């Protein structure tokens, strides 16, 4: 194996895994961090990416719309959860592997930001496959989330995909992203941490 191939296999240097409930601001914060670090070095891995890709293909939907923070995502969320749970039953790491293939197949980036871990099995899979993992929980109160468009939906907000990490305790950072909080201190902290890896 060539030196370059070995170096590639050693990437990423760090994996920042984010979790949090709907509309807590995962995309907002991970997008901001990604912008600061730059796409030459850093990539966002969305575990929901391959699920949405499959859904867009089978239902003839626009993938971009499904990936963005709009109505279409909400309309299809429950069905996508149900479909993906079935796949996951047989293979816990399936969507983790598919998401890596989708966003950084060649392991060409130093920094991975996994924007949407939802289960203990997601974290366990990354822990068992990659070193230098940092775990971040984003929180926001219900009032703030409602202002951002969240409403409780049975079968979504009480499902494993939304609740499995509620009792997880091993976070490296817990970040409050409420209406009047300033998330820039945290964003700066991550950007500085990246410089140390």
Ligand X SMILES: Nc1ncnc2c1ncn2[C@@H]1O[C@H](COP(=O)(O)OP(=O)(O)OP(=O)(O)O)[C@@H](O)[C@H]1O
Q: Which residues make up the interface to ligand X (CB under 6 A)?
A: 20, 22-28, 69, 148, 177, 183
Contact call for residues 146 and 178 (beta carbons, < 8 A): no
Using the minimum distance from each CB to ligand X, give the nearer residue, 31 or 110.
Answer: 31
Phi, psi of 96 (to 5 degrees): -65, -50
At closest approach, how far in Å is the CB of 180 from ligand X? 10
Region of residue 20 (left: phi > 0; alpha: psi -120 to 50; beta: else): left
d(CA 72, CA 37): 30
Strand 173-176 to strand 133-139: parallel, antiparallel, or no bridges (unpaired)?
parallel
Q: Binding residue per annotation — 59?
A: no
Both tokens of residue 149? Answer: 């468009």
Using the minimum distance from each CB to ligand X, give the nearer residue, 22 or 76.
Answer: 22
At closest approach, how far in Å is the CB of 154 from ligand X? 16
Using the minimum distance from each CB to ligand X, give the nearer residue, 2 or 180.
Answer: 180
Q: Binding residue per annotation — 148?
A: yes
At closest approach, how far in Å is the CB of 179 from ligand X? 8
Annotated binding site: 21-27, 148, 177
Going by the annotation, the residues of the binding site for substrate are 177
């Amino acid at each position: 194996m060539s030196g370059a191939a070995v170096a590639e296999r050693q990437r990423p240097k760090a994996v920042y895994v984010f979790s949090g409930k709907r509309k807590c601001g995962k995309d907002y914060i991970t997008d901001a961090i990604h912008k600061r670090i730059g796409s030459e070095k850093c990539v966002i891995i969305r575990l929901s990416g391959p699920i949405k890709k499959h859904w867009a293909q089978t239902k003839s939907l626009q993938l971009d719309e499904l990936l963005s923070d709009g109505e279409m995502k909400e309309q299809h969320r429950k069905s996508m959860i149900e479909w993906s749970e079935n796949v996951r039953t047989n293979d816990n790491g399936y969507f983790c592997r598919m998401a890596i293939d989708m966003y950084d197949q060649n392991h060409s980036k130093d920094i991975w930001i996994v924007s949407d871990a939802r289960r203990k099995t997601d974290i366990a899979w990354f822990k068992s496959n990659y070193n230098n993992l940092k775990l971040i929980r984003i929180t926001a109160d219900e009032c703030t989330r409602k202002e951002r468009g969240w409403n409780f939906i049975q079968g979504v907000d009480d499902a494993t995909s939304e609740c499995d990490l509620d009792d997880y305790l091993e976070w490296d950072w817990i970040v409050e992203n409420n209406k009047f909080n300033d998330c820039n201190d945290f964003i700066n902290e991550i950007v500085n941490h990246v410089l140390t890896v």
